[in-house]
Amino acid sequence: MSSGNELGVALRAWRERVRPEAAGLPADRGRRIPGLRREEVALLGGISVDYLVRLEQGRARNPSAQVLAALARVLRLSAAEIDLFYRLAGASAPPAGSIPAAIPRAVRLMVDRMSDTPLAVFTAAWDTVETNALWRALIGETADPDTRARNLIWRHFAAPDATSRVERTADERDAFERELVADLRRASERYPDDRAVSELTEALLAASPRFAELWGRFEATTNAPGRKTIVHPELGPLTVDCDVLTLDGSDLRIVMYSAPPGTRENDLLRRLAEFPV
Residue 36, domain CATH: 1.10.260.40
Number of domains the chain contains: 2
> Are 266 and 135 within one domain?
yes
Residue at 84: amino acid letter: L
pLDDT per position as a tens digit, 161-211: 656 899 999 999 999 999 999 999 999 888 888 889 999 999 999 999 999
Establish if 100 belongs to a structural domain.
no
Which alpha helices (H) appear in the chain, and where do they start and end? 6-17, 38-45, 49-56, 65-74, 79-88, 105-113, 133-139, 152-157, 170-190, 195-207, 209-215, 264-270
> Are 76 and 134 within one domain?
no
Q: Which helix (H) or strand (E) holds 254?
A: strand 253-258
Establish if 97 belongs to a structural domain.
no
pLDDT at 107: 81
> Are 261 and 142 within one domain?
yes
Q: What average pLDDT does the segment 137-152 reach? A: 77
Q: Provide the phi-psi class of 119: left if phi over 0, else alpha when psi is between -120 and 50, else beta.
A: beta
pLDDT at 231: 94
Q: How far is CA 83 from CA 54, 77, 96, in A?
A: 21, 9, 11
Host domain of residue 221: 105-274
Q: Does residue 143 surpass a pLDDT of 90?
A: no
3-state class (DSSP) for residue 128: strand
> Are 113 and 84 within one domain?
no
